[in-house]
Structure 1
Amino acid sequence: MDKNRLISIKEEKRAKIIENLLQNDLIELVEDKVVLKGDYYKNQLRIALRNCDIINPFDIEEYIAFDGYLALHNVLTNLSQREVVDIMKNSLLRGRGGAGFPTGKKWEEAFTFDADQKYIICNADEGDPGAFMDRSILEKDPHSVLEGMAIGGYAIGANKGFIYVRAEYPQAVKTLKHAIEEAKTLGLLGKDIFKSGFDFDIELRLGSGAFVCGEGTALIESIEGHRGMPRPKLQRTAHVGLWGKPTIINNVETFANVAPIILNGAEWFRSIGTEKSPGTKVFSLVGKIENAGLVEVPMGTKLRDIVFDIGGGCQNNKEYKAVQTGGPSGGCIPKEYLDVAVDFESLASIGSIMGSGGMVVMDENTCMMDIAKYFLEFSVDESCGKCIPCREGTRRMYEILELITEGKAQMSDLEELENLAHVVSDTSLCGLGQTAPNPVITTLKYYKDEYIAHIVDKKCPAKSCKPLITYTISDKCIGCTLCKKNCPVDAIQGELKVKHSIDIEKCIKCGSCYEVCPVKPVKAVEIY
């Protein structure tokens, strides 16, 4: 395929796609740019998600219609490897997988390292609870990733790429397989791409769902056929990676940003976001939020704008309490930091991290000890067990949190929990263990009064921890019998139009009586 064929496909397809989307009232044109309609999208800027929900991911010509593979053509016919690396360096694009390492710097390390074979790996092992950013890009715009990988392959001198994707994402696997075959059929992958002499192929490798394989060296071990366990960081993977060869690993969102940077220039990308964190970031906004979904905003956008302007605030008009950024490795951000800028430096300054982009919103009824326990349980289950601090330390931390939420802890346990959190963070081998204590560290920092209430008063301020709550029926009861009818264990006694009572011995604290009680404005069923 040559440039003329790309342009003809673009002109032929683009007008038809836009006309169809306009007829179905799905998009609007803003300065000749396609923008999805609706209040949810008006405060967003879509670069990585630019084609999602606009093109058919199973039709490569629709990707081409929106400038697809033009960046690769420009790179292979007009730019040297050094020039491509310099563009990426000047763009200041930082890895979107969590660590935020400069992409151009990483590519330069592999480019300048002499070797007979080099590799490009796309890390699509997204496993954070509630995160679906990368999976959505793979399912809805796979060619943006393939094109970014091919450009990266040319830049560092690699002719082989691997996409490490979770096997439990069958739709993403299906879409990627189809996209790779389409690209090969049109000569956009394979031998002598655009008659430039550049060869580049991509293969899929299916992961088995181990969260630790999101760590680069563990991922490499898995591709090589070994158990996915992190390696000691004695050498950079840009020098010694897959099968001992220079290897670049970037995540899905990072590769999806590459082609737009090539087409629009490094200065254009730096004009978006902040000085140190340019561009946009994709978040999966989930939890107790009115408008859940994928959000892409410029770096530096205030957390308040994401949660309230885009997300619509907490469900059922509940009060915002916290947001967890960065998945199980991140921290909980209280309401006093709602005006923090969402970028790498600002989040780190308050004890959280950007991570891959998970954003879980919590309301007034959320117990922060329970949240810390939930995320820590995930880290305990996903620890590979190679290093003692992570394997044993996270488990002991979880056990202490269990004691706290059951009302069985002492104040000395709180001191031990805090000490353990810092030891695990400082001494674990890889990022999983180093960041696993973050939910504990931030909740201790911002919600220590709730910890003390659990330990000293044996009360859960959020009225969420079952061992620490009691349900009673007050004199406001009108005897409607709804609570009695809905109790799954027959713990409620009473007759029609007569005040009911709860047998504490039988009560399993499921909360069904509280949910169905119709007395307004204050429920007859009370929680202590």
Structure 2
Amino acid sequence: MSLRARAERKSGAAAVPTVLAIGPARLTAGLDRAERLDLRAHQLVHGPVGPLSQRTLVELAEGVKLTGRGGAGFPFAKKVRAVAVAVERRGLAPFVVVNATEGEPAAWKDKVLLTRAPHLILDGAALVAWALRAVEIVLCVADDGVGESSLLAAVAERDLPVPARVVRVPHRFISGEGGALVQGINGLPHIPPGIKRRASEGGVVGQPTLLSNAETFAQLAIAARVGPRRYREAGNADEPGTVLLSVTGSARHPAVVECPTGTPLADVLDLCAVPAGPAVLSGGFHGRWLDMAAASRAEVSRRGMAAAGGSLGAGIVLPLGPDTCPVGEVARVVRYLAAESAGQCGPCRLGLPDLSRAVDGLASGAGDPAVVRAAAAGVKGRGACSHPDGTAGFATSALEVFAEDLARHARSGDCGRPVAGVLPVPAARDEGGNRRLHVDWSRCDGHGLCADVAPDLIRLDGNGYPALLDAPVPVRLEPVATQAVAMCPALALRMAAPKH
């Protein structure tokens, strides 16, 4: 397959990656000539698109086998049908929700669409609103400022079939989860609800809601213009069309890449100048690790990535180069994921910190992979959302791929490489918190009272001494941490911000 790269011009939106393509561009068409497609430029590049009936919308989605691009890959036609059934049964007008939050640090594809091609997203949302006779379009963006102004400008540039509003969502890993998103729109905390409920049954203000990812709506807009036959000319027969991939990590040319499904992952890695390294993380922080042999035979599709042992997920590809410690990188991510949980159920409050400690033990050379597997097994299938399962899968897949590195850590305490911070873990952020617990080991007598007071933060090791999670204390747990500090009989425990 021939490769064609199209570098974006330097944009006013800081940190938005370069846009590259393999094969003919669809979602990214025109971005080689303009930093942002306003309404006029958008129409010149893509042409007009008109209303669709509900039946035609379902037939189109089925004809192109459109699935959600946010990670789960749920068939879009089934979502439309489910909302239509709920509307008929309950007699309530539905809402259309666009999830463009991308709370995962390595995700950039939706932000590229927001920043540079926002009208494609609005086209898709408008088509669904027309077909379902929706009452409102709700556009959800992260509060990091990337893409929001572009989206607001796009809304102001055009007449949509129903009112539209933009809702800011905290830029956290779990904020974009479907239930958490609906909670936030409804004025509740941006965390997954304790009881899972389909948005099609009761989403925004309890009414039927079609909720899907920003790229999904953009793909729908392309399909409505070109029709099923032309749409299927790109990609695999069972997963037609193109996908957007966010490729960062150790890539020398990090980029958002548009490519047809079925493209060898190796072509994507070559395009982004990925150095030879031990592995590639596929599907992001809830994804799976692939060693380079598996990555070399993987194809970009859900089926193709799964066949190689990986995951397409939300299209995040994170290659790891040779100049960083893989085990240390994994430990950084697991600590981050443990701190990013909602903290509302046992697997998140207790299980993920335990998993993080177990992985930290591997990085120090004193841990045991069996302990990691046990901690991962303890959270699987037990959370209020998929966050514990995704975190457990990430950690356990690393055990197989980095077995040689783990052996070096067990023998020598490390692998001889620094932890370069290649995987994009953001700075401490739990609503502004950045303080950590510290132990003065010259004072600590192993009373164990701190673990009784703050079990979410402190465990006792095999000798009865505190084992702290190497992560900032979440703001919601600062009162408990403060109490543990105050009650330490030996005055050995303290909480402080890192020194700069």
Correspondent of 2:73 among 83, 88, 100: 100
Deviations 1:41-83 (CA, angstroms, capped at 9, x unpaired): 5634422222434346373211121234x21x2x2xxx42211
From the superposition, tell whether residues 349 and 390 of structure 1 become closer, same or farther in structure 2 (CA, over 3 Å): farther
Matches for 1:34-433 after TM superposition, within 5 Å: 41=20, 43-55=22-34, 57=36, 59-68=38-47, 70-71=48-49, 73=50, 75=51, 79-113=52-86, 114=88, 115-169=91-145, 171-183=146-158, 188-189=159-160, 199-232=161-194, 234-308=196-270, 310-314=271-275, 319-337=276-294, 338-409=296-367, 413-433=368-388
Q: CA deviation at 1:26?
A: 8.6
3-state DSSP of counterpart to 2:163: strand
**Cα shift at 1:40:** 8.7
Larger Cα-atom Rg: 1
Segments of structure 2 that go 5 or more residues without pairing to the other structure are: 1-5, 9-17, 421-500
1:195 alignment partner in structure 2:
none
- The equivalent residue for 1:463 is 417
Q: CA deviation at 1:159?
A: 2.8
Return the letter of the residue paired with 1:54: R
- TM-score between the two structures when normalised by the length of structure 1: 0.72
Give the CA RMSD over aligned residues: 2.3
How many Å separate the matches in 1 of 2:74 and 2:19? 30
Q: Deviations over 1:459-490 (max 9, x none)?
A: 43352369xxxxxxxxxxxxxxxxxxxxxxxx
Runs of 4+ with deviation above 4 angstroms: 39-42
SS in 2 for 1:436: helix
CA contact (8 A) 1:165 1:204 kept: yes
Aligned positions, number: 402
Query: What letter is aligned with 2:418?
Result: S
How many angstroms apart in 2 are the aligned matches of 1:203 and 1:300? 37
CA distance change for structure 1 residues 267 and 233 in 2, over 3 Å: closer, same or farther? Answer: farther
User: Given residue 168 of structure 1, which amino acid in structure 2 is its aligned partner?
Assistant: D
Question: What is the Cα deviation at residue 226 of structure 1?
Answer: 0.5
Distance verdict in 2 for CA 1:462–1:422, change over 3 Å? farther
Identity, % of aligned pairs?
25
**TM superposition score normalised by structure 2:** 0.76
- SS at 1:106's partner residue? helix
- Cα distance in 2 for partners of 1:266, 1:240 equals 31
Q: Give the distance between the partners of 2:23 and 2:117, measured in 1 at CA.
A: 18
Structure 1 gaps, min length 5: 1-24, 28-38, 190-198, 467-528
Pick the structure with more helix per residue: 1
| Alpha-carbon distance in structure 2 between the residues aligned to 1:234 and 1:125 | 20
Q: Per-residue deviation at 1:304?
A: 1.0
**C-alpha separation between the residues in 1 aligned to 2:21 and 2:178?**
36
Cα distance in 2 for partners of 1:57, 1:108 equals 34
- In 2, the alpha carbon distance for the partners of 1:293 and 1:216 equals 26
Q: Counterpart of 2:209 in structure 1: which amino acid?
A: T
Aligned to 2:489: none
Change in 2 beyond 3 A, CA 1:67/1:380: same
CA deviation profile, 1:96-141 (whole Å, cap 9, x unmatched): 1111111122112112331322000010111222221111110111
| Distance 1:26-1:393 versus aligned 2 partners, 3 A rule | closer
- SS at structure 2 position matched to 1:121: strand
Offset at residue 440 of structure 1 (A): 1.2
Q: For 1:270-326, what per-residue CA distance to the aligned partner results, in whole angstroms no more than 9, with x for missing partners?
A: 332223322111112112222221111111211111111x12231xxxx22211122
For 2:138 and 2:222, the matched residues in 1 are separated by 22
> Is contact 1:124-1:251 (8 Å) kept?
yes
